[in-house]
């Protein structure tokens, strides 16, 4: 199953991920008979931060194309690496990589079945390199040994098991050329030079079939080779459909194109296009949600099933050949399941199950026998604790939009339905993007904060993806306007519904969620008791002036949806939407976390608001990580920041907290400003020599 979000190929303005807290390798889960039978700690037990924010035991499970071996991510001396073992004895797996810094999170099997490929950057700079591990020789080759280059895996095909396509921006930092690279020798051959395109679509024969480029209005134009070394237009997608329309692949013959398309409708439908005749056919659609996930046969390339996600993930099966499999897998466990890996002969699947109140469970499914064998969970230590349920709720915005949201109430609290018996302190946890979304399932931050005594609410505000183009487009140029109104409407709902104490609401989030935090404390300073901003922009003009160079080809998309920093009128609008402009309105406690190597939201975004606040004698606590980028990937850093956050929230909301203790060990944490504003922070810094 794959999620064909628009931004997979283009990169989102602010994708937020801190540590492994939301680590769920699938969208479904298990419980019922497959749950642990051990007695759990009572719901009042304080769950250690290490349990939630430390490394998972095992994650990202994949089976080799030939079905003989299994791979997964697991720590080696506290750092995530790739492990490989026999498929029938995963407990015999051994590490095959030797990362000692940030940990590996992105890897896949090559079709040789004796190579593992992985990607890694340095200190969060997102200058990704692609590596090949030969399991026969243990030799590791850096396939993209260039500095300050953001490599992307463009294509992998079973028809060429010893080669992959990699897009590299070494010639021009704005454009990625496509290379064909031998994974055994590292030999590289230029396939297509790029001087104008945001991205390319290639097929299984490694032909470049389409190029994608921005149009001046913020739309997208898709072009195809004209047979004379040039390009001709295939189709034009206007600005209103640009985030919900995208070609993504071909059938086995390469003559039929698969596409998700919202043109002429609201939600993105799944359709096929016969490239010879131009004949189109809709094969999947939903009135409330966009097509989100797909299941495609590994060799035949037929679309077997598709999913949509409104409140929860729902699958529709198109291919009768897998209906029996889906029926059986639905009976294995409760929750949402995900087929994350398949053998080339399609006889074995790796299936993960995700719930909202427990760890991810992994199974190896033998299709011929029709049986799934349990492997392990991703965080076995969670099984001893009573976790909270995540409840989908739909909140009406003031102008009538349906805001699909997720509410978590502490497991220890008495309730009536989904509401607590009496109002609680609440954390409004805002997702990044803004072109992303919150979904149902295990969420480390919801579990951590609810365990400390807070209600936790996450809101899919307008501009969130998955709910149709009208919902996304309603957020255009509304960063401090209606997008923020949606968050305030959700807070008002929580107060009116008896969920939240009106004077005890915090706002917290990363990336766009960090911006929303700063906006909350400047544009609506009386609503929130405090805020936690993680890698959030403070000035939209400087944000757009400092985007990574490889985002430049799609600048029109940003300017049409956020604001145009290239014109005086646009800059004026952006300044009026920037929290930095209204810094003197901040009257509630603020905690800021930032990575020094962040390529998306530069350190200067945090520096400038801290400087402005300090010049006006407004207290602020500033936590900086020299070895992090856009989010805190190293568990040591994630734990240390959340230790600070926990004490900060306890001071301002009154919840429970676990003392900082030794959670700074191994972390690069620096606190340039405001260590005296958080209980125990100064002492912990001194004790750890920070």
Task: Tell me how far apart the alpha carbons of residues 93 and 85 are, in angstroms, rounded to a whole number.
Answer: 4
In sign, the C-alpha dihedral spanning 646, 648, 651, 654 is negative
The neighbour count for residue 488, using CB atoms within 10 Å, is 20
Helix (H, G, I), strand (E, B) or coil at 208: strand
> Which residues is 293 bridged to in the sheet?
3, 307
∠ at Cα 405 (400, 409), nearest 5°? 135
Task: Tell me how far apart the alpha carbons of residues 36 and 658 are, in angstroms, rounded to a whole number.
Answer: 26
Task: Tell me how far apart the alpha carbons of residues 521 and 165 are, in angstroms, rounded to a whole number.
Answer: 46
Residue from 114, 115, 565, 630 carrying the catalytic annotation: 630
- Extended beta strands in 606-657, E state: 621-625
Stated length of the chain: 690
What b/e sequence results for 446-460 when a residue is b if at least 16 CB atoms lie within 10 Å of its CB, and e otherwise? bbbbbbbbbbbbbbb
φ, ψ of residue 117 in degrees (nearest 5): -105, 140
Task: Tell me how far apart the alpha carbons of residues 185 and 181 are, in angstroms, rounded to a whole number.
Answer: 8
H or E segment to which residue 476 belongs? none
Task: Tell me how far apart the alpha carbons of residues 71 and 85 are, in angstroms, rounded to a whole number.
Answer: 7
Closest by Cα among 522, 458, 360 to 25? 360
Task: Tell me how far apart the alpha carbons of residues 536 and 604 are, in angstroms, rounded to a whole number.
Answer: 11
Q: Identify whether 511 is a catalytic site residue.
A: yes
CB-CB contact of 635 with 20 (8 Å): yes
DSSP 367-396: TTTTEEEEEEES-GGGGGS-PPPEEEEEEE
The CA-to-CA distance between both ends of the chain, in Å, stands at 44
Residue from 132, 307, 511, 638 carrying the catalytic annotation: 511
Hey, what are 673's tokens?
């400003």
Residue in the structure block whose two tokens are 């070895």: 627
Task: Tell me how far apart the alpha carbons of residues 261 and 250 are, in angstroms, rounded to a whole number.
Answer: 15
CB-CB contact of 175 with 550 (8 Å): yes
* H runs (alpha helix) in 500-634: 512-523, 540-545, 555-561, 568-576, 603-615
Task: Tell me how far apart the alpha carbons of residues 322 and 295 are, in angstroms, rounded to a whole number.
Answer: 10
φ, ψ of residue 657 in degrees (nearest 5): -155, 150
Hey, what are 362's tokens?
């992994």
* Catalytic residue numbers, as ranges: 511, 598, 630
């Amino acid at each position: 199953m794959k999620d064909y979000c628009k931004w997979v190929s283009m990169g989102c303005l602010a994708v937020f991920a801190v540590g492994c807290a939301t680590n769920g390798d699938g969208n479904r889960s298990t419980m019922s008979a497959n749950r642990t039978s051990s007695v759990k700690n009572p719901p009042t037990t304080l769950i250690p931060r290490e349990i939630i924010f430390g490394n998972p035991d095992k994650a990202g499970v994949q089976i080799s194309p030939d079905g003989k071996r299994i791979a997964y991510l697991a720590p080696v001396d506290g750092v995530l690496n790739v492990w490989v073992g026999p498929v029938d004895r995963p407990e015999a797996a051994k590490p095959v990589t030797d990362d000692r810094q940030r940990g590996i999170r992105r890897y896949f099997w090559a079709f040789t079945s004796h190579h593992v490929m992985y990607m890694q950057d340095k200190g969060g700079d997102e200058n990704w390199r692609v590596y090949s591990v030969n399991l026969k020789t243990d030799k590791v080759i850096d396939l993209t040994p260039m500095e300050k280059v953001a490599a992307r895996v463009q294509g992998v095909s079973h028809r060429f098991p010893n080669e992959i396509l990699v897009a590299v921006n070494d010639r021009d930092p704005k454009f990625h050329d496509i290379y064909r690279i031998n994974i055994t020798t590292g030999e590289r051959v230029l396939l297509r030079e790029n001087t104008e395109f945001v991205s390319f679509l290639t097929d299984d024969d490694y032909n470049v079939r389409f190029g994608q480029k921005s149009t001046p209005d913020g739309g997208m134009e898709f072009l195809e080779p004209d047979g004379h070394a040039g390009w001709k237009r295939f189709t034009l997608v206007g600005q209103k459909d640009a985030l919900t329309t995208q070609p993504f692949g071909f059938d086995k013959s390469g003559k039929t194109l698969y596409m998700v398309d919202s043109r002429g409708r609201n939600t993105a439908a799944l359709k096929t296009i016969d490239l010879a005749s131009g004949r189109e056919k809709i094969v999947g659609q939903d009135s409330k949600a966009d097509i989100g996930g797909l299941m495609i046969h590994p060799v035949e390339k037929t679309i077997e099933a598709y999913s949509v996600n409104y409140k929860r993930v729902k699958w529709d099966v198109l291919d009768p050949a897998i209906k029996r499999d889906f029926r059986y897998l639905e009976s294995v466990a409760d929750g949402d399941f995900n087929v994350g890996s398949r053998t080339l002969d399609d006889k074995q699947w790796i299936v993960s199950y995700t719930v909202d109140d427990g760890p991810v469970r992994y199974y190896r499914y033998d299709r011929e026998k029709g049986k799934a064998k349990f492997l392990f969970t991703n965080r076995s230590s969670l099984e001893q604790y009573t976790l909270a349920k995540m409840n989908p709720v739909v909140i009406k915005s003031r102008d009538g939009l349906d805001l699909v949201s997720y509410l978590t109430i502490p497991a220890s609290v008495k309730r009536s339905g989904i509401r607590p018996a009496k109002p609680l302190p609440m954390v409004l946890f805002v997702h990044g993007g803004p072109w992303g979304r919150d979904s149902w399932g295990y969420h480390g931050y919801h579990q951590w904060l609810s365990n400390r005594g807070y209600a936790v609410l996450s809101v899919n505000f307008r501009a969130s993806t998955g709910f149709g183009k009208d919902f996304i487009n309603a957020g255009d140029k509304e960063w401090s306007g209606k997008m923020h109104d949606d968050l305030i409407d959700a807070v008002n709902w929580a107060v009116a519904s008896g969920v939240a104490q009106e004077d005890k609401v915090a706002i917290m989030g990363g990336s766009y969620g960090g911006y929303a935090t700063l906006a909350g404390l400047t544009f609506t300073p009386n609503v929130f008791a405090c805020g936690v901003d993680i890698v959030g922009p403070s000035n939209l003009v400087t944000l757009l002036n400092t985007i990574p160079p490889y985002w430049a080809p799609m600048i029109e998309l940003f300017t049409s949806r956020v604001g145009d920093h290239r014109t005086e009128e646009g800059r004026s609008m952006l300044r009026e939407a920037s929290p930095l402009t209204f810094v003197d309105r901040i009257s509630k406690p603020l905690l800021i976390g930032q990575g020094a190597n962040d390529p998306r939201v530069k350190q200067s975004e945090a520096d400038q608001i801290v400087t402005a606040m300090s010049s006006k004698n407004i207290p602020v606590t500033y936590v900086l990580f020299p070895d992090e980028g856009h989010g805190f990937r190293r568990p040591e850093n994630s734990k240390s920041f959340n230790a600070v956050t926990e004490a900060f929230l306890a001071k301002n909301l009154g919840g429970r907290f676990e003392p900082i203790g030794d959670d700074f060990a191994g972390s690069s944490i620096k606190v340039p400003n405001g260590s005296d504003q958080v209980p125990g922070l100064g002492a912990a810094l001194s004790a750890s020599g920070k």
